Amino acid sequence: MVNNLHLISGLPRSGSTLLCALLRQNPRFTASMTSPVAALCGGLHKNMCVGEFAVFFDDAKRAAMLRGVFDSYYAQVRSDQVVFDTNRTWTGRVALLKALYPASRIICCVRETGWIIDSIERMLAKNPLQLSRMFNFQPGMSAYSRAEALMNSETGLIGLPWSTLREAWFGEEAKRLIVVPYDHLVGASERTLRLIYQEIGEPWFTHDFNNVAYNEPDYDALLGMPGLHKVRQKVEHQVRKPAIPPDLFAKFAHTQFWEKHELNVRGVRVL
């Protein structure tokens, strides 16, 4: 049974896999890249609210069934362990998470939008003979058209989680969020991790930032982007120039709302 749950969400290519790789060094923690739990909950939730069988479910039964998804998926986890479930859609389900796990926090990894687009373009360039599921396996697109697809607020890999994160940021449960900027995670790793431990009320565990291991080759191959979730052994900030056109990078230069103190009206914790 899952007794201690926190979620990892936020934007893609912003350090969530690295964060999981670090957290799982702690034997009390269970963490990995994107899990199917959010999708399973979504499908089950809809079936309990719509159709001929909806009449058989009240809120108490719906909550029990949805918690059962977590309990079943993490059945191998001891009751005293802490589960970190990763999915970019969790920021769009803040109220539901409050109802299911009132003590849970949502750790949101964020990064400047231009660098996220740049990171995806670099992965595409590393795998020129592959076609990516991110773009429906379409060949011949330009960086500009790919960026537009990525930023779609309803379906985009960046646009959808950016929209739900912004919604949660300004929502009534905003203080459940813990925002982790990518540059802080890679540039001040121990400090950032210590702050996460403090926020979730867990005793500090000494992590090894020079021997980090994580890879999901089968999942990445399915996406058509080998190496997408492979974490470098040493955590460090790497200085480089953008690979995308400068006008494309500049187009999204003012989308980092978490950096604007005047917009943090709910007092969200930014590490």
Cα–Cα distance measured from residue 49 to residue 247, given in angstroms and rounded to the nearest whole number: 46
Alpha-carbon span 6 to 9, nearest angstrom: 10
Say how many domains are in the chain. Answer: 1
Rg (alpha carbons) of the chain, rounded to whole number: 19
Q: What confidence score (pLDDT) does residue 107 get?
A: 98
Across the chain, which has 271 residues, the per-10-residue mean pLDDT values are 95 94 96 93 94 91 96 94 96 96 97 93 82 73 89 92 97 97 95 97 96 80 72 83 91 92 96 97
Per-position DSSP letters for 3-64, written without gaps between them: -EEEEEEE-TTSSHHHHHHHHTTSTTEEE-S--SHHHHHHHHHHHHHSSTTGGG--HHHHHH
| pLDDT score of 169 | 97
Assessment of whether the complete model's pTM goes beyond 0.75: yes
Residue 225 confidence (pLDDT): 74
Query: In Å, how far from its chain's centre is CA 51?
Result: 31
Is 74:41 a contact under the CB 8 Å cutoff?
Answer: no
The CATH number of the domain holding residue 105 is 3.40.50.300
Residue 137's pLDDT is what?
Answer: 67
Q: Which domain holds residue 52?
A: 4-270
Q: CA 11, 226, 189: angle at the middle one, nearest 5?
A: 45
The predicted pLDDT at position 158 comes to 94
